Structure 1
Amino acid sequence: MEANDDFDARVRRRLRQLRQQRAMTLEDVASRSAIDVSTLSRLESGKRRLALDHLPRLAAALSVSTDELLAPPTVEDPRVRGNAHTRDQITFWPLTGGGPAGGLHAYKIRISARRRRPPAELPVHEGHDWMYVLSGRMRLLLGDRDFTIDPGEAVEFSTWTPHWFGAVDGPVEAVALFGVHGQRVHVHTDQR
């Protein structure tokens, strides 16, 4: 029974993978396979078992052979590839790809030793930031408070609070998580 469950789960994953790769909706596959959309949804979710007569129709709807439909899902390259970019004396290396959970994006950042002077008016924007200092000492201004963050320490704060971060006495390396709005403000090079 367990082997059948594994096979069923593998075919369901493959079905969903092929459908999504082709940018097809459940309705698209249902109409092309002459299988009711609710049945197809239950097949993909595991709430209904696959029947042998489903396989050729699903394969044809997805423009693959039945063998390709039954094949294990292909494993995509898990490496995150992205170019480093520098803005306001901070270099950002992306650590997450296109669809991180909860809309968070992770970066390794390097704050230049020259970034020591905050602007006259501290920025405020929508979002939430989290940073973990790997090396160097980071200066963090939050409202009217001034903090020195040492290696091994983490900070998180609402970006609705006026804030700025820079170097104390040399370059700083950290890992940072930015929400979508924080990423747009900190990372993108276009001015908004």
Structure 2
Amino acid sequence: MTNADTDEPTFRGPVRDLPAVTEHKEIGARLRAQRRKTGKTLRTLAAEVGVSPSLISQIETGRSKASVNTLYAIVDRLGLSLDDLFDRKISAPAPSPPSSEPAASGISVCSPDQRQTIDLETGVQWQRLTRGTDAEVDFLFVVYEVGGASSANGKFVRHHGREYGIIQSGRLRVSLGFQSYELGPGDSISFESSTPHRLENIGDEPVHAIWFSLDRHGSRDAD
């Protein structure tokens, strides 16, 4: 089924029993602010991403969710990271009990109710597993609802970086170029994100997985 107001199919099947509902208007506002900062018009950004200006407008105003492919393309064209979309004020954690041991630096603990979440148009949810921004990696708990996929209409995506994932439940098909891999609980995979890829739930239950994306901005390739 296609949403008459967008270029992408509408996914009928909300992610269930998961904390931290995303405020799409906040994410859209960040995208709009960055687009204006870069001097791009709706039409210019839409042409670069390969969608209509109306879809970009609806994403910016929170009236439409982006697919994984579309969101990746938008943040890439605007010079943003996924962390930039997640980044908003987080309630302070409960104070820790007194300890005679000194606090270790560089440690971040994130409980399930503190995760920042993005719900995507194609039946996919991302939950950030870090309390704050990490410029080097995206560390995510991902959910693919039944019928959910990383992109609509069978399209593949490619971008900078390398991805690592391990499946906790469900069955996920990972298509990489002309090859396809069907993963179940306990299976893991890693691949270069520059390889055209698409992920989709091929089972009858939601897929839960831990996903780790490294170097999405291509710093490894910089001179």
Q: TM-score, normalised by structure 1?
A: 0.50
Q: Which has the higher helix share?
A: 1
Q: TM-score, normalised by structure 2?
A: 0.43
Of structures 1 and 2, the larger Rg is shown by 1
